[in-house]
Structure 1
């Protein structure tokens, strides 16, 4: 028996139509290179997104064409999210922090026809212009007064082009499985790979992400996405927040500036924000050094890298801000798990509460997870067994753009049973809380045992004199491999290796205590803010443990 329900397609444009009708006077605040505090309404936003759709028609962009963005978090980028996808093109968000050769590869591989770029990105494209094969025009996201002098051909001013367009436009309806967006993996090994999102997958992701146990977003919230809009759809916030009518505060190129973030939180009344741990460390240090507070900020979501317990506790104890750690991937749109307390956990305090917050959380509705052993046999959710983490769901990639779509093939991320192998090693406890113990490639294999680099790093950053730490495996003559800890000291501290190892011995199994500690001024990070273990392994490829540690 078939149901008798209307078969309306799930469209990105439907989010904007709903928001304009129900929240026309809601505000979007942006920091941009040409305006320190731009402010307009959802009504303005929707009208300009329609103008953008007309502009794309005028430029000759066809249905399905890839339209690239290299831009920060601001209102113009938000217009591209909706104007490009809503009109049937593919909004291709590119991370301008990637290596230049990767940016060129991504633009060419995706066959981008037009690039919409921030003023600050123009020098990058000037250096790459001879390598760009399919680009027909570059539109700079600014007004005439702030247009840069450039050697790039076919350059246009966004505001000038937009002013010439009519804001009357009827959003088309088409198959909800049509591509709406595109992001490439960061490509730390090999070339970046393209992940293509559909209207259906993106809308379902936004719906699930807004549920009470997830972000609990509503029109009463003031949301500040600090996670870049060029990084996995800014974790879906540009869709979920608009869907529920939240006020949006966009930090533009100032997303790593603690003073600017505090000013935005304080003056705009930000209640919810999201970003990687390094961003929150910068904000917390600024607040501590300036004796300032953030009373409006109720919740921050942390992802992209394991969140140190110290960040969780500083937010909770010093500012009354709840940290929700999450986990996901570019291939997952990206939301997979998020921390939330279950009924009966309301009275948790201290370390017990931090233990929950320091996990990667529970699955959001729409995502299934499992852990398997080396024989692909599923392991129990007992909090002890750990294995390869696999996922599946309606917003999880089944393949990469331009590569094999056949499950089980080397170029396809999905196995024959329809599960995507994440490359992470994890454990899941009986309550469903998942903990990433390592990346498969980062596990330290010593004397036949597996040691978690993440566990070592978390323990090290719990020491008040350690700002950041990374653990890697290095050759050992007896045990094949042993942990080496590379750490950054907090300013004006003088901890030594022996003291730190003694501290770690109190918090780790003796087998996990690193055999040595090397202090450095800074650690390398990928373009998305994660520790770059590949670069560290190369930097320390000739490292030898002291003779005293060859036990």
Structure 2
């Protein structure tokens, strides 16, 4: 017997429709690559997303086709998030800090039909445009006044020119919620980058879970600043979460230095910010040097690599900002665990609580996890037994894109599939995960781990130094694909 309830599809377009209808006057603030601060509302965003859907339709984009972006966090990127997925195509965010050859490989593997880019990344586009076999045109995300001249790119279009010619009369289609919505590439374990293809259903479920009190605890009273890039696992889902709860969004653009971030935090009265440790180290150094404080920020989400204990203490003891230590992967959409306290731990001493906060946290509802030994036998949750970390859930990858014949999952005795994360970890009796190492056979790059170097953190804090210092090398276990190392 089935229940007698309406069957509404879990579609990404429903998020921007909801934000427009119920939070239409809430602001979205962006620091643009053109240098100024841009302001508009969720209602404006929805209108322009509909215009953009008409642009994509006019360009001939079909259901399921991939449309790529090479862009910072900003309002135009947000419009692409909703227009591409909302019309039934696949939003493909590409990490612009990869080598141009890697960017071209990813674009070709995804068979991207169009590529939208911020002007910052024009040099990359120039290098890789001729090698993109399926890309029909490149769209500069700017207006006519800022369009570059003599680029040598024949099929270069202007974002605002296309928008000016488009109507906002568009109705979001309804389709199966298992339809692909977005595509992110990870360096995976070995070989070339691997695509993780999200669905509308997986994204909506992840968004619900991310907003929960013991996850990121988001509401319409929040002002959210995602410093984590929108090209890095969809900014940890925050562009979706903000629409769902009606929070004000603040986008930093390319301004990743401490001064630029602090200015936005204060002028826009940010309550929640999310990013990697190196970005926050730059911010804290700037604030200490200039004797500054936070006036509104109450919590920060730190992930991408382990939060140093000294940073955790400084945020909480010196600046009064609660740290949410999180862990996840591109393959997990990305949230897997968040370190929120259980009530009984609030009675513990400060030192005992800090010891818990240094861990990666408890599983978010929807994610199941276990640790196993070399033979696949599950190990006890005693905080001491270390093994391979395995996960499963409705927003965990089952296969990589265009590798459907490969067995990505490991099956247990009951026939259930588990995704091997490549992490070595232990779990304590209260369910708190602690990552201790990487599997010796796993080598990662482009935002994860190569040895003990976290490239994404370095690149986020010092992009110019990072790009200048990068050299191409060959690794014997990498199938001759160039890596970027510092």
> Using the alignment, how far apart are the partners of 1:471 and 1:233 within structure 2?
22
Aligned residue in 2 for 1:433:
432
What SS is found at the alignment partner of 2:237?
Answer: helix
> Using the alignment, how far apart are the partners of 2:210 and 2:48 within structure 1?
26
Aligned residue in 2 for 1:94:
94
Counterpart check, 1:194 vs 2:124: no
Counterpart check, 1:166 vs 2:167: yes
- 8 A Cα contact 2:279 2:457, kept in partner: no
> Using the alignment, how far apart are the partners of 1:154 and 1:81 within structure 2?
23
What SS is found at the alignment partner of 2:45?
Answer: helix
What SS is found at the alignment partner of 2:68?
Answer: strand
Aligned residue in 2 for 1:211:
212
Sort the Cα spacing of 1:527 and 1:55 in 2 relative to 1 into closer, same or farther, 3 A. farther
Aligned residue in 2 for 1:253:
254
The alignment's TM-score, normalised by the length of structure 1, stands at: 0.80
> Using the alignment, how far apart are the partners of 1:436 and 1:356 within structure 2?
13
> Using the alignment, how far apart are the partners of 2:79 and 2:450 within structure 1?
41
Aligned residue in 2 for 1:183:
184
> Using the alignment, how far apart are the partners of 2:264 and 2:280 within structure 1?
14
What SS is found at the alignment partner of 1:107?
Answer: helix
Aligned residue in 2 for 1:60:
60
Show structure 1 runs of 4+ deviating over 6 A: 538-541
> Using the alignment, how far apart are the partners of 1:436 and 1:343 within structure 2?
23
Aligned residue in 1 for 2:483:
none
- 8 A Cα contact 2:50 2:83, kept in partner: yes
- 8 A Cα contact 2:383 2:429, kept in partner: yes
- Structural mapping, 1:119-518, within 5 Å: 119-149=119-149, 150-186=151-187, 189-254=190-255, 256-405=256-405, 409=407, 412-415=408-411, 417-441=416-440
What SS is found at the alignment partner of 1:345?
Answer: helix
Displacement of 1:348 in angstroms is: 3.7
Sort the Cα spacing of 1:187 and 1:99 in 2 relative to 1 into closer, same or farther, 3 A. farther
> Using the alignment, how far apart are the partners of 1:123 and 1:326 within structure 2?
34
CA RMSD of aligned residues (A): 2.3
Instruction: Give deviations 1:318-362, integer Å, cap 9, x for gaps.
Output: 100011111111010000000101112224443212111110000
Sort the Cα spacing of 1:75 and 1:274 in 2 relative to 1 into closer, same or farther, 3 A. same
- 8 A Cα contact 1:63 1:87, kept in partner: yes
- 8 A Cα contact 2:20 2:42, kept in partner: yes
What SS is found at the alignment partner of 2:417?
Answer: coil
- 8 A Cα contact 2:206 2:333, kept in partner: yes
Which range is displaced more, 185-194 or 64-73?
185-194
Instruction: Give deviations 1:426-464, integer Å, cap 9, x for gaps.
Output: 000001100001111289xxxxxxxxxxxxxxxxxxxxx
Instruction: Give deviations 1:58-103, integer Å, cap 9, x for gaps.
Output: 1011111100000000000000000000000000000000122110
Aligned residue in 1 for 2:31:
31
> Using the alignment, how far apart are the partners of 2:144 and 2:450 within structure 1?
49
Sort the Cα spacing of 1:129 and 1:396 in 2 relative to 1 into closer, same or farther, 3 A. same
> Using the alignment, how far apart are the partners of 1:141 and 1:200 within structure 2?
29
- 8 A Cα contact 2:30 2:251, kept in partner: yes
Sort the Cα spacing of 1:524 and 1:232 in 2 relative to 1 into closer, same or farther, 3 A. closer
Sort the Cα spacing of 1:529 and 1:425 in 2 relative to 1 into closer, same or farther, 3 A. farther
What SS is found at the alignment partner of 1:340?
Answer: coil
Aligned residue in 1 for 2:112:
112
What SS is found at the alignment partner of 1:306?
Answer: coil
Displacement of 1:128 in angstroms is: 1.2
Instruction: Give deviations 1:407-434, integer Å, cap 9, x for gaps.
Output: xx3xx24546310000000000001100
- 8 A Cα contact 2:338 2:363, kept in partner: yes
Which range is displaced more, 66-75 or 148-157?
148-157
Instruction: Work out which structure has the larger RCO, using CA pairs closer than 8 Å and 6 or more positions apart in sequence.
Output: 2
Q: How many residues align?
A: 458
* Structure number with larger C-alpha Rg: 1
> Using the alignment, how far apart are the partners of 2:334 and 2:140 within structure 1?
28
What SS is found at the alignment partner of 1:48?
Answer: helix
Aligned residue in 2 for 1:10:
10
> Using the alignment, how far apart are the partners of 1:376 and 1:166 within structure 2?
56
> Using the alignment, how far apart are the partners of 1:275 and 1:405 within structure 2?
35
The alignment's TM-score, normalised by the length of structure 2, stands at: 0.90
Counterpart check, 1:525 vs 2:473: no
What SS is found at the alignment partner of 1:312?
Answer: helix
Displacement of 1:36 in angstroms is: 2.1
